[in-house]
């Protein structure tokens, strides 16, 4: 049975240019920087100005990122309440900080139904439009909680959100209006990725997830093709078949197409997302504690799906194709065994020496097929290795590439939207430990440099095409709740992929 599609509750969003102190809303959200000695200028003549100054002086309002303080009747006896949100140091307030601040607002005020909320755009000059867009994306994410299976909702979208540009900043009004629609599309795409990741594994088997992707893609006017197990077998996807052999649930392979360029035959940007809907480790069985979040092992596929819906809804003039291999990695009687040899789509053979290194096997087929389509570039996203988390921690993705221009394009897109990644080496010596006496490759190598070895394995299947691999094992999932993040799927790098498409990666 397919989990019911989550109802999309619409939040009415509009932009206004007026004195924020006169804005008639239930809550007014005001950002303050850590190095800001006085409240914003428009607050200076209000009854609460002196109170706010005293709180700043006593450091009860520090302006630290992630801090929020509720103040009441600050604008007058009949006014609504004010939420003062810390923005951190002004010289370090970028897209990532703006997004996180928006999430904080959504989480703090979304715990109950709110009729109207006003969000005052920070006084940041020419950066106001893009930072307001990032904050709005964050608000949309913050008001959408992870509680898909709760009998009562724990988070509510605001009935109306007014994005307020203070008088004197009217030159930015038109630009902010232009970014507002884009921000709403991106926020909802991030929430789609989170929702797919947070679905229980029994509700998103490969076939069910493929059906859900078909529905979402159809709503965004994407072209969808889904291969069943027979077609996958005919197409010689030995890795996908091998990984899924231990499950009663058959695999699926999903192709999404957006041909928005003037020439639909022009080379497309290829996006590949790992889609292991549950990873037990196979016969190389994971400990129970390590399986608890393995419903998230399809984060790459969820993120790519969400990014594709945003690209289509934005009607970007580019060609982009997505390739999503979907499978369960289980321990049934037909499960692949250590020492088995699989033949991949491109004809290379792989000796399986660890069934818990399964993601690279299904990606090998998908990358091979994507490379055959002569794309301009290939970008893959996968929750691939714990080694990457050991190296970079839980909030930074590892970047691996065979092409400096492609790596720089991905890094530039991530920096532009405030998402964090770090280049890791993929030198030729990492290939040495993948040598097998009986096949072209092993699927694992030395215990040292595991993330780089995994990247080197994937490189064998891109046919020399410009390619970048993002190991998102850390940032795709949050173990715990915080002021700017919900526990569960994060929807990371949806913004990066959309920015990459917007920057015209495809010719």
Residue 348 known to be catalytic: no
In this structure, how many other beta carbons lie within 10 angstroms of the beta carbon of residue 267? 17
> Which phi-psi region, left, alpha or beta, contains residue 69 (left: φ > 0; alpha: ψ -120 to 50)?
beta
The Cα 376–Cα 362 span in angstroms is 22
The residue from 188, 295, 321, 360 that is catalytic is 360
The Cα 487–Cα 345 span in angstroms is 37
Closest CA to 193 of 498, 479, 454: 498
Distances (CA, A) of 86 to 83, 105, 289, 416: 10, 10, 36, 21
Closest CA to 454 of 367, 337, 343: 367
Query: Strand ranges (DSSP E) for 165-314?
Result: 223-227, 252-259, 269-273, 275-279
Tokens (6 digits) for 496? 């990066």
Residue 236 known to be catalytic: no
Whether the CA torsion 433, 439, 443, 444 is positive or negative: it is: negative
**Cα Rg of the chain, angstroms:** 24
Q: Look at the block and give the residue holding tokens 């990695």.
A: 329
Q: What SS3 class is residue 202?
A: helix
The residue from 127, 233, 286, 337 that is catalytic is 286
Q: What SS3 class is residue 36?
A: coil
Catalytic residue numbers?
286, 360
């Amino acid at each position: 049975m397919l989990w019911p599609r989550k109802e999309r509750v619409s939040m009415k969003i509009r932009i206004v240019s007026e004195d924020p102190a006169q804005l008639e809303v239930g809550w007014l959200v005001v950002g303050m920087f850590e190095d800001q000695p006085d409240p914003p200028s428009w607050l200076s003549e209000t009854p609460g100005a002196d109170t706010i100054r005293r709180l700043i002086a006593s450091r009860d309002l520090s302006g630290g990122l992630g801090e929020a303080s509720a103040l009441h009747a600050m604008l007058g006896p009949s006014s609504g309440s004010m939420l003062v949100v810390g923005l951190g140091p002004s010289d370090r307030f970028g897209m990532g900080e703006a997004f996180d601040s928006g999430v904080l607002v959504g989480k703090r005020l979304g715990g109950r139904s709110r009729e109207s909320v006003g969000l005052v755009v920070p006084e940041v000059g020419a950066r106001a439009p893009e930072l307001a867009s990032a904050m709005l994306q964050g608000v949309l994410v913050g008001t959408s909680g992870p509680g898909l299976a709760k009998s009562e909702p724990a988070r509510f979208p605001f009935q109306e959100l007014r994005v307020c540009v203070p008088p004197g900043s009217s030159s930015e009004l038109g630009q902010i209006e232009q970014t507002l629609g884009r921000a709403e599309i991106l926020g909802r795409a991030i929430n789609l990725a989170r929702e797919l990741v947070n679905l229980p594994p029994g509700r998103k088997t490969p076939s069910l997830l493929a059906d859900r992707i078909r529905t979402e893609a159809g709503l965004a006017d994407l072209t969808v093709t889904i291969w069943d197990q027979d077609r996958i077998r005919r197409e010689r996807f030995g890795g996908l078949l091998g990984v899924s052999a231990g499950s009663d649930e058959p695999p699926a392979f999903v192709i999404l197409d957006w041909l928005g360029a003037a020439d639909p035959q022009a080379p497309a940007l290829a996006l590949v997302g790992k889609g292991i809907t549950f990873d037990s480790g196979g016969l190389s069985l994971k400990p129970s504690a390590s399986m608890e979040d393995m419903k998230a092992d399809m984060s790459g596929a969820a993120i790519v799906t969400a990014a594709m819906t945003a690209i289509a809804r934005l009607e970007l003039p580019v060609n982009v194709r997505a390739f999503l291999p979907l499978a369960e990695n289980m321990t049934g009687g037909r499960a692949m065994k250590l020492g088995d040899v699989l033949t991949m789509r491109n004809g290379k053979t792989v000796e399986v020496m660890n069934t818990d290194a399964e993601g690279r096997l299904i990606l090998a087929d998908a990358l091979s097929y994507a490379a055959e389509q002569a794309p301009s570039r290939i970008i893959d996203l996968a929750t691939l290795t714990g080694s990457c988390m050991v190296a970079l921690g839980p909030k930074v993705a590892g970047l691996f590439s065979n092409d400096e221009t492609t790596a720089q394009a991905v890094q530039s897109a991530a920096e532009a939207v405030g998402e964090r990644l770090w280049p890791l080496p993929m030198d030729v010596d990492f290939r040495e430990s993948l040598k097998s006496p009986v096949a072209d490759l092993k699927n694992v190598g030395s215990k040292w440099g595991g993330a780089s070895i995994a990247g080197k394995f994937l490189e064998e299947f891109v046919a020399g095409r410009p390619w970048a691999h993002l190991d998102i094992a850390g940032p795709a999932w949050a173990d715990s709740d915080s002021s700017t993040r919900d526990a569960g799927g994060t929807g990371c790098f949806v913004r990066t992929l959309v920015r990459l498409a917007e920057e015209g990666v495809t010719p």
